[in-house]
Structure 1
Amino acid sequence: MYTILHIENSDFFKKIFEDIFRKKNINYIFVKTVEDAYKVLDSKKINLILTAIEIPKSNINHFLEELNSNIKYAEIPIFVISGKEELDTRKEVFSFGIVDYILKKTSIFDIVKIIESFINEEEFIKSLKKFKIAVLDDSEVELNIIKDIFKDKKIWNVDYYTKGKELISSSEGYDLYLIDLILQDCSGEEVILNLREKNEKSIIITVSSVTNEKTISHILSIGADDYIIKPYVSDIFMARIRSRVRNYLMIKELIEKLSLNSKEM
């Protein structure tokens, strides 16, 4: 179960957060001091830390620095809740690698939405890291853009191709294909048709600068699951992939359940 450690001197948030997170099947642990926080960190697997900026008998900067310098805690995402709106304070706290700085005037339900959104993104990236991914583009510049996006998310299970025929003839099977439409050695259309014939369940996303609606409609009709237009913002790029991966996993889970039920009958 996903576990959140909350460090806060006041009991104001405790009951509300406890009730909300329990309903979302999230384990919530509340402590008032850094000393107690370390006891929890040493005894339980913590997935996320939510901390007030003002902690009794401790300095937030010192606490964040200690977490970052310890290999056991360095990868735990941290959200800071603060009543201080000064830009310098925010910059200083962000320099310790926190995920977000949330103002106390933000409603509790909005704070939960922010955290829930982050958890969902984490789960998506975790799923994507298990995927075998193929990227086809004959432009090194475009390939490097996608490489940088995946590198930023620490996604390494990606093979990059510059020739369509090489990908078509590859014996490797992939869960996700990102295919450029305009290629030098063959057409993106030919690649998509071949890939869809061999990989009925894989996700195929076309990435192209072609914006013609008839072309987009045609590419989707021959087997592509989505069409991303270049140039794109990395967040939008990942959001489109997220949408397809979510559908893919839901269908996969449904098929597995149906298969299991048929065996039991």
Structure 2
Amino acid sequence: MLQILHIDRSELFRKIMQEIVLRCGHSVHSVATKHDALSFIAKHNIDLIITALEFNDGDAESFILDLPQATKQDIPVVVVTSSDSLELRERLFSLGVVDYILKTDVNEDYFKHFFATLSAEDELSRFMRDMKIAILDDSPIILKVIHRILDMNGFRFVDFYIKPGDLLHTTSIYDLYLIDIVLPELTGDKVIAELRSRQPNAIIISMSQFTGEKSISTVLLAGADDYIHKPFDAASLLSRIKINVRSFQYKKRLELMAVTDGLTGLYNHRFIFERLEEEHAKVSRYGRPLSVIMLDIDNFKHVNDTFGHRTGDVVIQSVAHAIMANIRKSDVAGRYGGEEFLILLPETGLSAAKVVAEKIRSTVAQLRFETKDLGITISAGVVQAQKDESYETLVNKADTNLYNAKRGGKNQVEG
């Protein structure tokens, strides 16, 4: 999920963009001035900035020039405006703007595609740079070259080893290994075999200045994922890393598909109950707080009967996006079934959980759809886990509170 900042002095257009972003499954914070935007950026991690051309306290050009003073992040900027000229476009693109869109051309399909592309590249780059990497090579020169390449490209967690024994005896665990084949004390293929036996899911890339089918097949059979010939340049090394990381992500994505709901992308019924059992065990064992939100879309049968099942699917997806936009990374959200959702809030008491539920309720109530007559609300039941009760009892209590919210008039939180 992308964290997006939108800047526009028009309250109406800020609301339009907020609805588009939420329906696309991302989080958005809207401000009206350059000052508020720079203040927010200085305190938060932002993946994308969507900005108007002019504000009451400045314009997009001055804002972009002031960005480096507010953050060290390289944040992509999209300008959305009613004004257009070739000279203006060229000036903004020269400042690093990644796209320039007229407000008359703004539509959900465009941003859905744009966000998907940005998410894929951003996810891969962020994942790569956060990886823990071990380099094993007995050549100080090669280690220095690799260090320079990785450092210039933002890799932060890299350790270097000259002796195989030092790597094999460390207690550190790495996501990616670059292993030379010709080493003192122990051959590269034996090091690779040992690493693979310990870490079946790690990425291992072998390196050697020698070529030949035998050497390549030996290291691949030992457990290496890939092979790179020395000497190599920065582009060759980075492309090898990227290819293998992307394959690793595809594998993880397939694993994720087994535990997620196909329509919403939230966790499925089976997995959410597995996580509930795990989190509830912490309550019983350590006395950790845990709260649960059970929510349901009001009058959903009427939506399906009046507007059709395709619109019903869009509504369910939009509610799922609203949920994700209002919970933390440590929280767990799942589709309980049909139009019902279950949210687990670890380390959260009842009063804080009710605040989260109210934020979700309010966000959903403000959603607008292409079908103009369609308005959606949700009802929610909130409960905090107790040490002396089962997780089944916890869910039943949340369900009872949800029923009371429905009976009390809907579009409300009970707990």
Task: Tell me if structure 1 keeps the 8 A contact 2:192–2:222.
Answer: yes
Aligned position for 2:156: 156
Task: Tell me if structure 2 keeps the 8 A contact 1:137–1:161.
Answer: yes
**1:177 Cα offset (Å):** 1.2
Task: Tell me if structure 2 keeps the 8 A contact 1:133–1:157.
Answer: yes
Q: Secondary structure at the match of 2:207?
A: strand
**1:202 Cα offset (Å):** 2.5
Aligned position for 1:78: 76
**1:147 Cα offset (Å):** 1.9
**Equivalences for residues 82-101 of structure 1 within 5 A:** 89=91, 92-94=94-96, 100-101=97-98
What is the rounded CA distance, in whole Å, between the counterparts of 1:199 and 1:14 in structure 2?
Answer: 48
**1:4 Cα offset (Å):** 1.0
**Equivalences for residues 77-226 of structure 1 within 5 A:** 77-81=75-79, 89=91, 92-94=94-96, 100-104=97-101, 113=113, 115-128=115-128, 131-210=131-210, 212-213=212-213, 215-226=215-226
TM-score, normalising length from structure 1? 0.68
Task: Tell me if structure 2 keeps the 8 A contact 1:2–1:26.
Answer: yes
Structure 2 spans left out of the alignment, 5+ residues: 260-270, 279-415
What is the rounded CA distance, in whole Å, between the counterparts of 1:5 and 1:160 in structure 2?
Answer: 39
Q: Deviations over 1:143-187 (max 9, x none)?
A: 233323432344332211123343234444333211122335543
What is the rounded CA distance, in whole Å, between the counterparts of 1:238 and 1:80 in structure 2?
Answer: 29
Structure 1 spans left out of the alignment, 5+ residues: 95-99
Closer, same or farther: CA 112–25 of 1 in aligned 2, 3 Å: closer
Aligned position for 1:55: 54
Structure possessing the higher radius of gyration over alpha carbons: 2
Q: Deviations over 1:113-158 (max 9, x none)?
A: 4554443344345445554321112333432333234323443322
Identify which of 246, 251, 257 aligns with 2:249: 246
Q: Secondary structure at the match of 2:95?
A: helix
Closer, same or farther: CA 13–213 of 1 in aligned 2, 3 Å: farther
Aligned length: 252
Aligned position for 1:97: none
Over aligned residues, Cα RMSD in angstroms?
4.3
What is the rounded CA distance, in whole Å, between the counterparts of 2:217 and 2:48 in structure 1?
Answer: 42
Task: Tell me if structure 1 keeps the 8 A contact 2:79–2:99.
Answer: yes
Task: Tell me if structure 2 keeps the 8 A contact 1:125–1:153.
Answer: no
Q: Secondary structure at the match of 1:174?
A: coil
What is the rounded CA distance, in whole Å, between the counterparts of 2:45 and 2:175 in structure 1?
Answer: 30
What is the rounded CA distance, in whole Å, between the counterparts of 2:250 and 2:179 in structure 1?
Answer: 19
**1:248 Cα offset (Å):** 6.3
Aligned position for 1:6: 6
Higher mean C-alpha displacement, 150-159 vs 244-253: 244-253
Write the letter of the residue equivalent to 2:76. Answer: I
